[in-house]
Amino acid sequence: MPPPYTGVMTEIISQQFNQDLSRHLALFATKADDTFFLDTLVSDTAFTDCVVRALTTFGAGTGVTRLVNPADASKLVFVVVRDEKTTTREAFGELARAACGVDTLVVASQVTDVADAVEGGLLGAYVFDEYKEPKKAPLGALVLPVDDDAAVTRGEILAEATNRVRDLVNLAPNELYPEVLAQIAQDEASAAGCSVRIYREEELEEINAAGIIHVGRGSKNLPRLVRIEWAPEGAQGDTIALVGKGITFDTGGYSLKPSTAMTEMKTDMGGAATVLQTIVAAARLGVQRKVVGWLCIAENMVSGIAGHPDDVITYRNGVSVEINNTDAEGRLVMADGLLMASAEGSETIIDIATLTGAQMVALGERTTGIMGSDYAKELTELAAGVGEPAWHMPLPEHLRESLDSDVADMKNSGSRFGGMLVAGLFLKEFVSAPNWAHVDIAGPSFNRGKPYGVMPKGATGVMVRTLLAAVEN
């Protein structure tokens, strides 16, 4: 088993600003018409006047502008020009990315939203370098003029959780297969103070994890179900369960994907990674609520013992499912996790998965789809509150008919029109909880374009903040 990859994080230093200007500095500014206004702790007006003149000369727009430091030509000044839409998190993300290759960057502007600034800086500085040396090293250290250790710690924990999701999703599938992902979950959750149980072959049979067994049967890398529990002494409120899809690679099975659609299928375990790191973050933050996570892990491969279209499986609740599409495997494994969470009596269940291409057709590559009971609306609002784009989607009853089967209680794939919603309706059959939300991150989990805001190219770690907000709410 290969050792787990852990990327290098930018160091955050809290330190009162001094007037030594012969350093790499960062300033924040706004622009009205053609006039720039600096938010600065620098008292040297000659220095600030020079910065403003340079911004004016270059006609700087919204974003980060790099200037030669007027006090020391061997150093740089990074000016972040913000508009009314730019959040603190996004501004610091852009800043940290622009400052790659810099050893130490000193912020010379006031910082109010400290946790967001720390989180944004660490997310923006993220680089995945397991297989390739980056052209420039990530920012070494970010010095903030703040005195709020609690806020700094919170920002660091949130960023570390998100960046760890990115690490796991970016890893190659020949290194991150079911056994490895399950072991990483056990190691990292245990280290955070959680209890962990891994269901292997015999245990999966004992609990009749029909979907996980069937999807994983075609691979030499056998499937796993991982239960993680954070149960602090004196926990308050109801238990919340998080269920994550963990398909470490998805060929589509005998409903084989085209070659062009099979690349990037290492990312199909993003939901499980998100659940894992959300619970680790909750434990590190000492959240006073019981949280249970279910990681539904398998590898969907083609072989002489793989499942076929037309197979019928029966779940632990007695529901039989005809498999008419082996590439709709995510919902099959998620059903097992939802049944286990429901059996334990969790009042709130959130499942998260890179589930459908239809999510991207409906909402694009940056907006997460959320559906379920009335609670799904609340979760959508929580997402907006922590700066993660999401949209509440319906579960129209008439689409359920497309899942009807002639030989079983239901099929695993139905109408291609509203495919994201049909997948949600399938999962609904396995949920027994007053509060339930299904979160489809197929597009937002992986950025195929240029970096933006706090998002790098590649794995994004989307929805960690939202799930943590749900746990804390």
Two tokens at 186? 């056990």
Report the pLDDT value the prediction gives residue 2, as an integer from 0 to 100. 53
- Ranges of H-type helices in 171-269: 178-191, 201-206, 210-216, 259-262
Give 276's DSSP letter: H
Buried b (16+ CB within 10 A) or exposed e, 419-446: bbbbbbbbbbbbbebebbbbbbbbbbbb
Q: What's the DSSP call for residue 87?
A: -
Q: Give the strand pairing for 195-199 and 104-107.
A: unpaired
How far apart are the C-alpha atoms of 146 and 276, rounded to whole Å?
A: 31
Can you tell me the distance from the alpha carbon of 323 to that of 310, in angstroms, rounded to the nearest whole number? 5
Res 8: pLDDT:
73
Q: Do the bridges between strand 25-32 and strand 76-82 make them parallel or antiparallel, or are there none, so unpaired?
A: parallel
Give the per-residue pLDDT at 9: 86
pLDDT score for 1: 58
The confidence score (pLDDT) of residue 6 equals 66
Closest CA to 365 of 376, 354, 375, 379: 354
Give the model's pLDDT for residue 5.
Answer: 64
Q: What is the pTM of this model?
A: 0.97
Length of the chain, in residues: 473
Amino acid at 271: G
Copy the structure tokens of residue 332.
Answer: 């099959």
User: Which has the closest alpha carbon to 280: 454, 164, 200?
Assistant: 164
Using DSSP's 3-state secondary structure scheme, residue 63 falls into strand
Which residue in the block uniquely carries the two structure tokens 């809290």? Answer: 14
Q: How do the pLDDT tens digits run along the chain, 473 residues long?
A: 555 666 678 999 999 999 999 999 999 999 999 899 999 999 999 999 999 999 999 999 999 999 999 999 999 999 999 999 999 999 999 999 999 999 999 999 999 999 999 999 999 999 999 999 999 999 999 999 999 999 999 999 999 999 999 999 999 999 999 999 999 999 999 999 999 999 999 999 999 999 999 999 999 999 999 999 999 999 999 999 999 999 999 999 999 999 999 999 999 999 999 999 999 999 999 999 999 999 999 999 999 999 999 999 999 999 999 999 999 999 999 999 999 999 999 999 999 999 999 999 999 999 999 999 999 999 999 999 999 999 999 999 999 999 999 999 999 999 999 999 999 999 999 999 999 999 999 999 999 999 999 999 999 999 999 999 999 98
Active site residue 457: no
Residue pointed to by tokens 């290194």: 175
Helix (H, G, I), strand (E, B) or coil at 446: strand
Alpha-carbon span 203 to 230, nearest angstrom: 22
Could you count the other beta carbons within 10 Å of the beta carbon of residue 123?
Answer: 28
Among the listed residues 75, 217, 257, 377, the single catalytic one is 257
- Structure tokens belonging to residue 39: 């938010």
Q: Which CATH number fits domain 11-144: 3.40.50.1220, 3.40.50.720, 3.20.20.70, 3.40.220.10?
A: 3.40.220.10
The answer to whether 164 is a known catalytic residue is no
Phi-psi region of 59 (alpha: psi -120 to 50; beta: other; left: phi over 0): left
Single-letter amino acid, residue 395: L
Fold of the CATH domain 158-472: Aminopeptidase (3.40.630)
Q: Domain extents for the chain?
A: 11-144, 158-472
Write down the pLDDT at residue 50.
98
Strands, E assignment, 318-367 = 320-322, 348-353
